Amino acid sequence: MSDTMDVLEEKANGGQVMEIDEVVSVRDHEAFAAKHMPDLGHEVKEFKVFSWKLSNWKKLEKKITSPEFECGGHKWRILLFPFGNSNAPPNDTVSVYLDYADPKRAPEGWHSCAQFALVISNVNDPTIYTVSHAHHRFIAEECDWGFTRFSELRKLFAPQDGHVRPTIEEEAAEVSVFVRVLEDPTGVLWHNFVNYDSKKETGYVGLKNQGATCYMNSLLQSLYCTRFFRRAVYQIPTEDEHPTESVPLALQRVFYHLQTSDQPVGTTELTKSFGWKSLDSFLQHDVQEFNRVLQDKLEIKMKGTQAEGAIAKLFLGKMKSFIKCVNVDFESSRIEEFNDIQLNVKGMNNLHESFKDYVAVEMLEGENKYQAEGIGLQDAKKGIIFQSFPPVLHLQLKRFEYDIQRDAMVKINDRHEFPFEIDLDEFLDETADRSQPWVYKLHGVLVHSGDLHGGHYFALIKPDRETRWLKFDDDRVTPVTDREVLEENYGGEALNGLVSPMQRNQVRAMKRFTNAYMLVYIREAAIDEMLAPFREEDTPAHLKRRLDEERLQMEAKKREREEQHLYLTAKVITDETFAQHEGFDLATFDERNWPPSDLPTFRVLKNETYSTFKTRVAQHFNYPESQIRLWVLVNRQNKTVRPDTHIPENEPGLTVEGVRNNMAVRQQNDLRLYLDVVPDPTKPDVPAGSIMIFLKHFDTSKQTLYGVGKVHVLRSSKVGDLIPLINERMRWTPGTPLKLYEEIKPGMIELMKPKLTFTQSEIQDGDIICFQVDLPEKEIHDIESQGLLSNPTQFYDFLQNRVMILFRPKYEEIDNEYPEFSLVLSKKHNYDIMSAKVGETLRHDPIKLRFTTTHASNGSPKSVLKRSLNQSVAEIISPTYVSPQTTVILYEKLDVSIVELETKRSLKIAWTGIHNKEESTHPFLLPKTSMVHDLADHLASLVKLTPGGTGKIRVFEVSKDGKTQKEFTGSEMIGNIPEPVELYAEEIPQEELEADDADKVISVFHFSKEVSRTHGVPFRFVVKPGEKFSETKKRLQARIGVSDKDFAKYRFALIQVATFKQPSYIEDDDTIYDHKFAPEDVLGLDHVDKSGKTRTGAGEKAIVIRG
């Protein structure tokens, strides 16, 4: 838009007109401010201009301050650096700031929000100037604000922009500041929220966001602030329940924490109690559905308790749908209950209009007359009228609608106003109880910012009559202005305040994506009961007790964490733990693919003396102190961890930290020890020249390798001398031949020579020797032919490559048939060995298993493993950069071989027959190149078609909104149908095939109460000209094969998707053929869902709350 257009627009709006290049003088304060300081939309507390004349510019000090002036109850001054504020030359700029004059004297916690313009102008011609403007929240930590590079000095000393004089003339200039101190009614204007304390500022705390759960957080805060609701939730007995399995207890705990905590509260326990695994929590659900499901759940739990009936008392209202004849006295009506009201936004200017639209009366006249029972065709009025509204009224604004053209949900951002107070009397039936006025006050606004595919939710709530409006935005709670409650959430076009033509070009009208989608109103007559102050006794004592105990435990843990640096962890290996250890060294500490050994552990103060610590250890293991010695384990250069020396007993001042620093590794946080039990305390010392060796036994028959204690031997004795000692210890026949191996390090296990001495074999304290019975060649051959290991070298190789993999079902809930289990595999194993071992565990043919790897971060499926690649386990689990302790692989049990699956497409088709009932499901495995009509042919041979019927089958998907079929033409290739897909097939009825040009074929779907709560499978149906609906119904009943008893409970509605109208229910005398069917108009059958297959909205999963 051109500048002149802007001016014209100003004229049209009757505003003052200022030509774009009109010259403004610095001394014309109002005009100057109007030109250079945009209106930020906040109330101005005080506006001041202060000017300061300077001469001899080049002789000025490096930093100077002006005299002080007052504005908005604060003292200010100009801070000027005539040659710039940068430490490094060149000194070629001017720096100028607005400075808060005396921050030290200001009261603690002071702040001031100011908008300002700093100007340097010519002393003789005030129309020559340089100006910059800004706004800032001045606080103790940031008490000056302005421009380090305000202007280059040379530009100030030379004429610019067609002027004949410079700004600084003869070294003189005027420095001015225009200041607007703004009102800050909420106290948080332009706040950076560093160290912001919600509890201190507002008395309330926020809820942490678990990822896309802010829709839940905003609703929970609204329910929490409805104190009658909170009281009722507290009355549900939960003493013996567990928070992650009980929704009421988890909700009580969230409410109690909101009440008592000074930090934001977590909701993971609550979502766990809903049975949501982390992935569900991240699906943004519809808040209305979430609210309903939660309330249904609580209502069930409240039955038979003090709280019974609370939800109905709070949220339940009644409405009547009617048809009333105009000329005769006849009315047919039905009364229904509601928990919330869904109001149209599209085409409505405000809430009052939405209500009028909801109760708008439709005239049935002309061709559309009503067939009244026993009276014949009549002009009639059809509509809905309210009989009562609940004390707490939840209004859902229909911001999300289904768009037929896009076959998708879209968000409607139209402007829609709502008031702080609304009188709903005019929407009530004349028979309603009017003993108290039906005036409602706004209590909460739930807001969505963003589009359909995400965005952010927050809540604005007025907790009671006295408290101001607050914004609950996940973990932060802040005060807000009335404008932030109403105007900013109406939606529609927004202009940022009033904008002068100068700034017009910067601030364009912007479509606002932030708007209200749910409103909570409370009846004025009920406010004192609904929001009655909370008393101590309203909180159940058991909850308080339980949570106080937990808080103490948390504080103790926190203290422990804070004092962690004062402590060491000592881990003690004993002969018992060694006997249980299957792995390298004496215990596992830092292995990447294997969990560490579970060892006796002591938390020890670093400055505790060794003798005190030794006493504790002796008492723990029930030994006299004189009978034990502790050895320190060290990390050898070859990456093994072995006992090195025993701790000296005769140094009274030796501390535990001293032991670690001098004898182990200073960087290590734990001290690793071996408990050496001396068999005869009278002879505590071993003979001089002896060494301590640890023994391990490799048992070929059991395929195990375990520790069997230690021996002391003389360095000079021969390795072979160990054999009789081992035979005796193992109680084997004397002379049993053995083979001895030294465990040098992983990958280096060497056969020892029995004739060499220990010194010649380079054996030292803490070394490990592994033995096995020496087997004849034939036995070795037999063992190896079974795929088993015949010597320790092979077994150690397995240990080096072993990994623990956790297998869990990909789609099914974990149970006996689909267990979760761990297997130990070698990285050298391949896909076939892995699937064989999994098949063995599951008792399922390995060729009929399919595996999917997972993302290490959240366990979600990553990619399906191809059997044809036959990768090694190392490749399957490889490169995880987040190396988890265990790798998770998902499995599926297939009905077919994986080999076939890799060239074929597996599909399941739900068969709904001729009567639109899911009769059976048929799995198919067909080449990916097959057509959909091949699929129909295969299906025809498996299902029972009606004798004498059409013999034709229709294959279809269901549209995202669950209302229509999306039929395949038959020539699509099944390999090209996108995954995942739900396919249905039905027999095409004779009636449809024989329909002539005069007939209309329409879509019919099933729903329950709300049009969005669809269930079952949609179908096609023929509508005949001139047929009354009473006759149409009979054909419908025959089409879906429902009994008279059940069919009597059905209601029928015409759904006009395009107009977003409430469904209009059809009476027996209507002729639906006469309705001008747009392609997307459908007939809805409203009845209770017995199929168990609820759909919700566009491709969303229904919310399920378990607990």
User: Residue 90 burial by CB count (10 A; 0-12/13-18/19+): exposed, middle or buried?
Assistant: exposed
- Would you report the helix, strand and coil content of the chain in percent, each value rounded to 5? 25, 30, 40
**Is the C-alpha dihedral spanning 560, 561, 563, 567 positive or negative?**
positive
Indicate the Cα dihedral angle 38, 39, 43, 48, nearest 10°.
30
C-alpha gyration radius of the chain = 41
CA 400, CA 409: separation in Å to the nearest integer? 6
CA 1033, CA 407: separation in Å to the nearest integer? 29
What DSSP element (H or E) covers 987? strand 983-987
Determine if the peptide bond prior to 687 is cis (ω within 30°): no
CA 100, CA 127: separation in Å to the nearest integer? 28
3-state secondary structure of 687: coil
- 8 A C-beta contact, residue 703 and residue 795: yes
Both tokens of 629, joined, read 């010695």
What DSSP element (H or E) covers 558? helix 541-562
CA 73, CA 76: separation in Å to the nearest integer? 10
CA angle 182, 185, 190 (to 5 degrees): 60
- Count the residues in the chain: 1107
Q: Which backbone phi and psi does 419 adopt, to 5 degrees?
A: -100, 170
- 8 A C-beta contact, residue 223 and residue 290: no
Q: Which residue has the tokens 């007052």?
A: 70
CA 588, CA 594: separation in Å to the nearest integer? 8
Question: Measured between alpha carbons, how far is residue 100 from residues 131, 134, 300 in Å?
Answer: 20, 15, 61
CA 525, CA 528: separation in Å to the nearest integer? 7
Best CA proximity match to 1073, nearest among 999, 1004, 1020 = 999
Both tokens of 215, joined, read 């829709």
Best CA proximity match to 893, nearest among 938, 945, 848 = 848
CA 645, CA 636: separation in Å to the nearest integer? 13
- 8 A C-beta contact, residue 775 and residue 828: no
CA 1034, CA 510: separation in Å to the nearest integer? 54
What DSSP element (H or E) covers 932? helix 932-940
Secondary structure of 761-810 as H, E, C letters? CCCCCCEEEEEEECCCHHHHHHHHHCCCCCCHHHHHHHHHHEEEEEEEEC
Can you name the residues that pair with 917 across neighbouring β-strands?
none
Determine if the peptide bond prior to 90 is cis (ω within 30°): yes
CA 568, CA 673: separation in Å to the nearest integer? 13
Strands 317-325 and 362-364: unpaired
Both tokens of 651, joined, read 């140094």
DSSP 154-167: HHHHS--TT-SS-S
CA 1080, CA 1018: separation in Å to the nearest integer? 13
DSSP 431-491: TS--SS--EEEEEEEEEEES-TT--EEEEEE--SSSSPPEEEETTEEEE--HHHHTGGGS-
Q: Which residue has the tokens 């803490």?
A: 766
Q: Which residues are catalytic?
A: 214, 456
Q: Which residues contact 514 (CB under 8 A, 6 or more apart)?
A: 447, 448, 449, 450, 488, 489, 491
